[in-house]
Amino acid sequence: MPVSVLLCLVVAISDGDTLTARCGTPGAYQQVKVRIAAIDAPERKQAFGQKSRQHLAQICFRQRATLHALSHDAYGRTVANVRCGTTDVAAAQVSAGLAWVYTPYADQHPHLAPLQQQARASRKGLWAQPRPLAPWAYRHRHQR
């Protein structure tokens, strides 16, 4: 999928790494479910899951967003680099200690790893826990 840029309005926040945006021109809007590229936030029922979702809402809800669509995931969501206003959303979530850098895509987003190291060193957000559980490990443990 070639990279496309969409100008949107964020209309819903699912969790700390997923949002819904209304993109396009008035009268021809399209709802797009977006997975923020290169990060994985705690699940809703996991420690810091709600804080992560609330932080994303503070940054993006009812804000203009620029989506640099990269691909689609297994759930049909658009995977994109997201900016709400001038904020790099992935960087903001990682810096606040409210999302992990998602390792398989980390090399395409080299600015994120140092932010995670800083958050971890200063015990911000989920890094305040003695043994934070990565969302992918949590999902694996709680699969039905």
Q: What is the domain count for the chain?
A: 1
**pLDDT attached to residue 106:** 81
**Distance separating alpha carbons of residues 87 and 53, to the nearest angstrom:** 16
**pLDDT attached to residue 26:** 78
**pLDDT attached to residue 125:** 98
Tens of pLDDT, residues 1-51: 456 788 999 999 999 999 999 998 878 889 999 999 999 999 999 999 999
Does 142 fall in a domain? no
Q: For tokens 């980390």, what's the residue? A: 106
Q: Residue 116 phi/psi, 5° resolution?
A: -65, -40
Tens of pLDDT, residues 56-86: 999 999 999 999 999 999 999 999 999 999 9
**pLDDT attached to residue 1:** 46
**Residues of the domain holding 109:** 4-131
Task: Choose among 69, 52, 48, 47: nearest CA to 17.
Answer: 52
**pLDDT attached to residue 9:** 96
Report the CATH number at residue 53. Answer: 2.40.50.90
Residues with catalytic annotation? 35, 43, 77
Does 39 fall in a domain? yes
Does 17 fall in a domain? yes
**pLDDT attached to residue 28:** 84
Does 137 fall in a domain? no
Task: Choose among 101, 21, 115, 110: nearest CA to 68.
Answer: 21
Residue 134 pLDDT exceeds 90 = yes
Does 136 fall in a domain? no
